[in-house]
Amino acid sequence: MPIRDLTDGDDLRLNEVFADADTPAAHMARSLFRPSSDSPLLRCVIAEVVPGVPVGAAAIAQSPLHPYRAWVHVEVASEEQGHGQGRELFEAACAETVGTTLEGLDLRTRVQAGSPGAGFAQALGFAPLTTTRVIKVAAGALPPSGGGRAEDLEIVATGSVKLTKAFLAWYTAVNKDDAVGPLTIGQVNNAFLSEAAGAHGAALLNGEAGAAEDSGLSAFAVSYAREADQSGVEITDAMPAPGDDEEAPTELIIGSMFETRDEATDTTSELFTAAVADAELLLARLSVDADVVLEVTSGMPVVSALADRLVEVGQASELYRYETLTGPPAQTH
């Protein structure tokens, strides 16, 4: 099967042969199908049965925030699947990394749980790393709570140094399974809290559940503009793109500073219970007038416990569930 470097215009031809992306993560993963480059470092190949008629593509790209693994995405037109073309594309993309800093890096990919893509990745030797759920809370589903704690709530600018430092500590803690690289305050702000990242507003909540070095900060929330430019955020760090058929919900990141503690997985402690209550207080206050969605990973014990309970009692619904899988570098031939 002829495989070559992807060039300008091939992405449009691929869109004609691929079915519409059925999840936000799938749509964002396809953004890796662009011409190879050195900054950001990316290698991408395309397969054609006949010239001008592509059947699939594969890309491997650096991951600036999580540099110890590289992103990989492989996709083949549905009618061509099952004939080994995906594996050929994968191996060809791996071969293109030789001589670059991508060579030898472990890989990661994000797939919808239970999808054919998940089965394909597992056949290549990929194994589960983290689970991500996208949870929707309808406006007013949570009764406003936390009466008498107005003095604990602080609305801050997204560029706040206190917020940025808290975000960095929290983001590092909840990504232990896919470690982040050394990040500066500026990098964190650019990636998550800047106008380009879509950050729209932020709130801090003081309480007992934070770490001692956080000066009483228990939780924070960052909201994202409904029409955010996510071009500067790597694919798993962007909030999900809403559908076009209804008014987009407000997108939130809720971080519990309890998740930075060594004992964060102890779900039986009074502090854990307090941390869940604080996260719920923020969520309740920010979802009074608007539907909200939040992304919850398996590395977030506090927000995961909150999401579990809200889904169980019908106050929230799960829109999507993704698996991030990890695999060793492929053998190149």
For residue 182, the one-letter residue type is P
Supply the pLDDT for residue 53. 86
Length of the chain: 333
Shared domain for 172 and 207, answered yes or no, is: yes
Rounded Cα gap, residues 38 and 101, in angstroms: 10
Task: Work out the pLDDT band at 116, boundaries 50, 70, 90.
Answer: confident
Task: Work out the pLDDT band at 292, boundaries 50, 70, 90.
Answer: very high
Q: Which two tokens stand for residue 170?
A: 């929290």
Q: Cis bond leading into 143, ω under 30°?
A: no
- Residue 134 located in a structural domain: no
Task: Work out the pLDDT band at 239, boundaries 50, 70, 90.
Answer: very low
Supply the pLDDT for residue 150. 80
pLDDT one-digit tens code per residue, 138-194: 999 998 765 657 889 999 999 999 999 999 999 999 999 999 999 999 999 999 999
Residue from 202, 184, 279, 196 nearest 237 by CA: 196
- Residue 217 located in a structural domain: yes
Supply the pLDDT for residue 234. 39
- Residue 237 located in a structural domain: no
Shared domain for 182 and 297, answered yes or no, is: yes
Domain CATH code at residue 278? 3.40.630
Supply the pLDDT for residue 208. 85
Task: Work out the pLDDT band at 219, boundaries 50, 70, 90.
Answer: very high
Q: Per-residue pLDDT averaged across 287-315, rounded?
A: 95
- Residue 319 located in a structural domain: no
Sign of the four-CA dihedral 86, 178, 40, 25:
positive
pLDDT at 241 over 60: no
How many domains does one find in the chain? 2
Shared domain for 123 and 196, answered yes or no, is: no
Shared domain for 78 and 208, answered yes or no, is: no
Residues facing residue 176 across a β-bridge: none
Q: Which domain holds residue 310?
A: 139-228+243-314
pLDDT at 244 over 60: no
Shared domain for 184 and 303, answered yes or no, is: yes
Is residue 226 classed as helix, strand or coil in its secondary structure? coil
pLDDT one-digit tens code per residue, 62-103: 999 999 999 999 999 988 888 889 999 999 999 999 999 999
Shared domain for 151 and 54, answered yes or no, is: no
pTM given for the model: 0.89
Rounded Cα gap, residues 180 and 37, in angstroms: 23
Q: Which two tokens stand for residue 82?
A: 């099952």
- Cα–Cα distances (Å) from 53 to 9, 77, 269, in that order, read 12, 11, 59
Shared domain for 80 and 219, answered yes or no, is: no
Q: What percent of the chain has pLDDT over 70?
A: 89
Supply the pLDDT for residue 331. 54
DSSP 79-140: GGTTSSHHHHHHHHHHHHTTTSTTTT-EEEEEEETTSHHHHHHHHTT-EEEEEEEEEEE-TT
Rounded Cα gap, residues 265 and 273, in angstroms: 12
Rounded Cα gap, residues 213 and 17, in angstroms: 53
